[in-house]
Structure 1
């Protein structure tokens, strides 16, 4: 037990150590050039954590490991639950059925396609394939973090998935404004996109929430409707992570039972933190808590997520990456192509 009398001091020291790294990540994320790139503290946190894991890891007391593990596992679940304070059911209703359908189609197809491609075609293990697919299909690093406990995956697999989110999410942030101004805005026929359609396209296909917010602001003279549609559709995708994880848990239990024999009793994997996440979002929809308090809760939650991401980075050793080769890059590239091209087609068809 991490807080047993023998381990309590080491656990607290480890948690404090992770918190100091996370504070540094938060500070760096607010610096002008970094903020302009749309890099969240979560992403910077895992980079700092990986740096520690591969340089200073052997220089610190081993007793602190329990605190680092606690941050990566327990604090993570708590933070995912309180992520629900960022969403209301009213926001989802505002964007209408078009945004909901685009979110649902892109999430399900990207996750299934990415998992199949990574595992069956490029030879990655199933956990890494699913983690990489969850990051691309739902909400980037936060989705990878939420999926990791359901799969009980190792830290380095999570780091691989997050690195793919960072790479292709950053590319998206620069590519989409160029696509709109150079092609979609002034095109005729099927290639033309209204500001609302482009907003739905952005929200339905770009990885991170911060990147989705950044794209409309990178389009010269973009109307407010574009940004609003993008953010609401993105938050619709975010809330879908809960039912996705529940379905994933049922699938994993069914697969384990099938592989172990029909008579074998297999415990159903239900990610209760995902259920609580929906409950918190529902409670937030009632607007019982003042907006300034919700803002403070979200700031604290972002810091807790940064701690979880930093701790996951601290468990990542480059030596574990041997043998994977370029399979994660190939998988993430294929998913990126589907998000950009397939997402465009899906958006146009649904919004027609």
Structure 2
């Protein structure tokens, strides 16, 4: 009870932020911009975090930290309710392959260009995850593996918001030209789903053309979301070997001598072997919430969950993720974002150009445009 009383003020604050963001996201003038409740929650959190929250941090800090950690992981697990294996079959192997190629190439470009731009490894990885997978939700899911600071998460989410919104309005403008090349609404939907950042932005870019295009875009996007779990597992092993947690300045920086603190809901596995090798490696963090995400997606593929409970769980998931985003925003100071400079924005812009142009090339080669 004592712990609950400590967490209650902070949880109440993040709950209020989440409700306000959800209400605002449903307003027509906001919905036109494709801004999700997650994005609005972190923006609201940043505003409060740099105005009135410093005076409330004493009583609210424990609950805000809890929302950033435990509620975040639970929200990622429930995110699996948005995906089924049947959706993957519907798009076909070409759509799955396009998603895999776009995720791998975009994230690889983020790591490579991040070194060239001299961006610290954590920020480059967070921006790469958000651009290559599913926007703010991917940034949130990657943060526990990296144990990154809130300001780096906020910078990554901001880039998703800027370039994802740009894509939502820009892709429909490309459609008449693509149609003249013989690109069908189905192919256009796969193109949008495999390259646009956020789910809400994918819906906006698809519906601007047709409902069928929107449906194909969302299914393709959900496959990208499902790839989040293997991505996190792979990243966790890479982090353990290369040390991209707190204090690292490049994705290939040498690992710290001391093992980092293991995040909640993650299990440490100490590297084995000679003492010299053991001291040169970090602990591997198994992101159990990623495995839970896969299990929930598999469960969702079976006709076992009634519609009403599933709808309630999806609403709960939206709430939990929005609370986590609000908590991250509250912990973010504008001075830290200013210190990040223009380089993260340049990296995100480069990734956006690749998603549009390179994504078009990949879709043309693997999706058989015009055939």
Query: Would you say same fold, with TM above 0.5?
Result: yes
Aligned to 1:328: 344
Aligned residues: 339
The 2-side partners of 1:263 and 1:77 are apart by 29
The 2-side partners of 1:263 and 1:94 are apart by 46
The 2-side partners of 1:100 and 1:211 are apart by 20
The 1-side partners of 2:317 and 2:86 are apart by 22
Tell me, yes or no, if the aligned pair for 1:68 and 1:311 is still in contact at 8 Å. Answer: yes
- The structure-2 alpha-carbon separation of the partners of 1:263 and 1:75, relative to structure 1 and needing over 3 Å to count, comes to closer
Superposed CA deviations along residues 282-304 of structure 1, whole A, max 9, x for unmatched, are: 01111201123212211111011
Q: TM-score, normalised on structure 1?
A: 0.93
Tell me, yes or no, if the aligned pair for 2:154 and 2:332 is still in contact at 8 Å. Answer: yes
The unaligned stretches of length 5 or more in structure 1 are: none
Q: CA RMSD in A?
A: 1.5
Alignment of 1:87-106 (within 5 A): 87-106=83-102
Tell me, yes or no, if the aligned pair for 1:195 and 1:223 is still in contact at 8 Å. Answer: no
Moved >6 Å (runs of 4+): none
**Larger deviation: 256-265 or 308-317?**
256-265
Please report how far the alpha carbon of residue 258 of structure 1 lies from its aligned counterpart in structure 2 after TM superposition: 6.9
Aligned to 2:180: 186
Aligned to 2:10: 14
The unaligned stretches of length 5 or more in structure 2 are: 244-252, 258-275
**Larger deviation: 35-44 or 252-261?**
252-261
Alignment of 1:1-352 (within 5 A): 5=2, 7-60=3-56, 62-118=58-114, 120-181=115-176, 183-187=177-181, 192-219=182-209, 222=210, 224=212, 226-256=213-243, 259=255, 260=257, 261-264=276-279, 266-352=282-368
Tell me, yes or no, if the aligned pair for 2:206 and 2:215 is still in contact at 8 Å. Answer: no
- The structure-2 alpha-carbon separation of the partners of 1:61 and 1:330, relative to structure 1 and needing over 3 Å to count, comes to closer
Q: Which secondary structure does the structure 2 equivalent of 1:289 belong to?
A: coil
- The structure-2 alpha-carbon separation of the partners of 1:281 and 1:123, relative to structure 1 and needing over 3 Å to count, comes to same
- The structure-2 alpha-carbon separation of the partners of 1:319 and 1:223, relative to structure 1 and needing over 3 Å to count, comes to closer
